[in-house]
Structure 1
Amino acid sequence: MQFSSSSAHRSPPKITTLVLLSGLSALSLNLFLPSLPNMALHFQADYKVMQLSIALYLLVNAVLQILIGPIADKAGRRPVLLWGLVLFLVATLGCIYAPNVQVFLVFRMCQAIIVVGMVLSRAAVRDLYDQDQAASMIGYVTMGMAIVPMIGPAIGGLLEESFGWKANFWLPFVLGVMTLVLTYLDFGETSAKSGKTLVQQFREYPELLGSPRFWGYSLSSALSSGAFFAYLGGAPFIGTELFGLSAAEVGIYFGAPAVGYFFGNFFSGRYSVHFGVNRMVLWGCWLNAAGVAMSAILFLAGFGTALSFFGFMTFVGIGNGMTIPNATSGALSVRPHLAATASGLSGAIMLGGGAGLSALAGALLTHETGAMPLLWLMLATSVLAVCAILSVIRRERQLGL
């Protein structure tokens, strides 16, 4: 099979194609979350083992992003995207027909290849626009992407109750086929091949890793989104076990951060060019921390409910919607000639931390502890995100940027 970058495929991709590529990656992360309890019963596995399907997925995402960036800088965005989509379809079928939990988890990790859509849609935007305009465009791309996780768990809960858990894997398979066809027809190459070997590409990592600004942007994004990833690992338990919600109810409540994320990305798309990426990241990090803090205060005062817990997560979503597109654009703009490599590496830092926080949140929560261990964990990462972007602002003042 040959996915060429011939002259017939050189027009830049439409925004809708970039949204679908990012959205499919997001859908594969959270669509099946309301099914976790029944999947544990189906595979006769402990619930905490099934939760590994989130943490392991995020971990493999992180590793793949380190590889995808240099490969796409060398070979081009288009062929890497198309091969990634094909492999995702194979892995999704593996999840559907897995005979036991071990095989399921292996194919679930393989599903993480769909992260090519997230990495290379952002890199394509940076290929085509300058920093502030790229932040605005990434905001619009991920605003559209936010629709998917907003409705994903709700759809997943309804599919689970109507057709069983496998329906939550058949849906991304069908959408994956459609996205593959659209990408083949519409996604023209956006970057010239680097002409370097993979070894030479990987040798350019120190250029990024030696930049304090790259680390500041990447960590502000990683720590801000870390609050959300911890939420991913702990919220299903809190919804089902502590508040007694059904799968469909968990799916509906679970979308609260995505509602906020949609609006946060709208603010990024609308205002990033006017205010600049640093201010947008700083405001986003503060909103993230404020939402978690208000929820924690209510639980400490004894007034915590399902509505208050999930409702305040909307602020986490708004904060992330402002932080992630702008911090990503900042990280990709530190060394523009390494855009895909920077996209992959910053994404790897974000998802690697997310994998750890997701697993830690799941391990910390019990009926006895209630929701507070999760809220403390989310608050700590949110405050550290504020510190990370403040370090970037201070560094740029020192450099006179």
Structure 2
Amino acid sequence: MASRYARNAIVLGLLSAIGPFAIDMYLPALPTIAADLQASTVATQMTLMAFFLAFGICQIVYGPVSDMQGRKPPLYFGLVLFIIGSVGCGFAQNIFWLIAFRFVQGAGASSVMVIPRAIIRDLHTGTEATRLMALVMLVFSVSPILAPLTGSGLIVVFGWRAVFAAVTVAALAGLVLIAGWLPETRPPEDRIRVTPGQVLTSFGLLLRDPHFMGLTFIGGLGMASFFAFLASSSFVYIGHFGLTPIQYSVCFALNAIGFIGASQFAAFLGTRFGTGRTILGAVWVYAAFAVLLLAVTIAGSDSLVILIVLLFCTFAALGLVIPSAMVLSLEAHGPIAGMASALGGTLQMITGGLMIAVTSVIFNGTAMPMVAIIALCALGALALSLATLRCPVPISHGAE
């Protein structure tokens, strides 16, 4: 049993890492891409927004399809689409084609984000689901820790197009994992015939559920603050503070270590204090450090060390918030876990994509716009937490 649990965590974690891998490897290349394709900073950041919008919107399709056809077929389709987008990005000759193929790439990558969450709900609920989600995120952490360093090395030796060759190889490895190691967790007898009307009815039910919506946007605003960091950090660290791509990758990895390290305590704290109280406490910490960072930045601080330390603390708190909020949002919706995961993921990714757009528009070459957006997201998440978690979250009636 333990070996199957570990196998599921490894496979789901590696699959979930493919999409972020395509983001994190790419970040150190943004200034180089802007120069090579003679594109503006805003246009280059739009390649990120295009990825995230497709990444979010297409989850609406993958979730219901996985409830109807099983979990594995849409995973295969999504990874093939991701490979097509990656190859197209590698051969793009201008920023417009790069934006278009990043959209295709994001459309494929969304399958390996939404479906693993539904698989976790197929297998477990409650604390066991949180524990598996935390283990998945531990495996998933290979992306934000190693991907920027790998991307920097490839960029220095082979140029930025090599990044897309590498993510193509990662997607091919994902196909092998699905075929050989991932069991089908949605057997035929559990599948439901999904019509557009049923999808709309299920989405309507979810949209009217204040706990689901509140928890979705608590996690979504947390993700959005990290997306603002993704969109701006390479330009701030490399352009403003003068770091090399490799030095930037190390700084980026520190934030990932904080996030992933904290996430491993989510199940323990959820068992000890309750998942809702854990989320609320972690959001308070997240907001406190984000507002502190904004305050010292407004006061005139332009210290890279202070920025890194306070971002580390801010994103470490998010490591407790995001996996716990994901699990709790699906807790009462086992029969439509795929659709619930899809809608939640779509709303979160759209929120993140909009924050990337806002950050891009107000970016001025310094850390201030990025820091301001992170603080705004943190305060929004805190307000939602106070409103959502005052009353008990519905308990699932699904089986383990």
The TM-score, its normalising length taken from structure 2, stands at 0.92
Where does residue 282 of structure 1 map in the other structure? Answer: 280
Q: Aligned pair 1:176/2:171, yes or no?
A: yes
**CA, structure 1 residues 271+397, in 2 after alignment: closer, same or farther (shift >3 Å)?**
closer
1:398 CA drift (Å): 11
Q: Which amino acid aligns with 1:323?
A: V
Where does residue 324 of structure 2 map in the other structure? Answer: 326
Aligned positions of 1:144-183 closer than 5 A: 144-183=139-178
The DSSP-based 3-state class of the residue aligned with 1:396 is coil
Where does residue 85 of structure 1 map in the other structure? Answer: 79
1:13 CA drift (Å): 6.4
Contact 1:62–1:350, Cα closer than 8 Å, also in 2: yes
CA distance in 2, matches of 1:126, 1:285: 24
CA distance in 2, matches of 1:398, 1:264: 26
Q: Which amino acid aligns with 2:212?
A: F
Contact 1:89–1:173, Cα closer than 8 Å, also in 2: yes
Of 135, 138, 160, the residue aligned with 1:140 is: 135
The DSSP-based 3-state class of the residue aligned with 1:203 is helix
CA distance in 2, matches of 1:303, 1:98: 40
Aligned positions of 1:352-371 closer than 5 A: 352-367=350-365, 370-371=366-367
Identity of aligned residues (%): 27
CA distance in 2, matches of 1:348, 1:303: 36
Q: Aligned pair 1:381/2:377, yes or no?
A: yes
Where does residue 111 of structure 1 map in the other structure? Answer: 105
The DSSP-based 3-state class of the residue aligned with 1:45 is coil
**CA, structure 1 residues 224+97, in 2 after alignment: closer, same or farther (shift >3 Å)?**
same
Where does residue 9 of structure 2 map in the other structure? Answer: 15
Of 14, 30, 33, the residue aligned with 1:36 is: 30
CA distance in 1, matches of 2:35, 2:372: 30
Aligned positions of 1:208-223 closer than 5 A: 208-223=206-221
Deviations 1:363-382 (A, max 9, x none): 21214xx3223212211110
The DSSP-based 3-state class of the residue aligned with 1:194 is coil
1:285 CA drift (Å): 1.4
Q: Aligned pair 1:122/2:117, yes or no?
A: yes
Of 66, 74, 89, the residue aligned with 1:95 is: 89
Contact 2:216–2:344, Cα closer than 8 Å, also in 1: yes
- Report the count of equivalent residues: 388
Q: Which amino acid aligns with 2:94?
A: N
Contact 1:66–1:348, Cα closer than 8 Å, also in 2: yes
1:63 CA drift (Å): 0.6
Where does residue 398 of structure 2 map in the other structure? Answer: none
Deviations 1:329-359 (A, max 9, x none): 1111132211111111111111101011112
Q: Please, what is the CA RMSD of the aligned residues?
A: 2.1
Q: Aligned pair 1:252/2:246, yes or no?
A: no
Deviations 1:134-184 (A, max 9, x none): 122111111221231122222212221122101211111111111111111
Where does residue 21 of structure 2 map in the other structure? Answer: 27
Runs of 4+ aligned structure 1 residues displaced above 6 Å come to none
1:34 CA drift (Å): 0.7
Contact 2:33–2:160, Cα closer than 8 Å, also in 1: yes
- Return 83-92 or 282-291, whichever deviates more: 282-291
Q: Which amino acid aligns with 1:118?
A: M
CA distance in 1, matches of 2:121, 2:43: 38
1:76 CA drift (Å): 1.1
Deviations 1:81-116 (A, max 9, x none): 111111111111111112222111111111111121
**Structure 1 residues not aligned, in runs of 5+:** 1-10
The DSSP-based 3-state class of the residue aligned with 2:72 is helix
CA distance in 1, matches of 2:161, 2:331: 41
CA distance in 1, matches of 2:275, 2:313: 19
**CA, structure 1 residues 31+254, in 2 after alignment: closer, same or farther (shift >3 Å)?**
same
Where does residue 201 of structure 2 map in the other structure? Answer: 203
Contact 1:259–1:317, Cα closer than 8 Å, also in 2: no
CA distance in 2, matches of 1:149, 1:348: 21
**CA, structure 1 residues 57+397, in 2 after alignment: closer, same or farther (shift >3 Å)?**
closer
1:362 CA drift (Å): 2.1
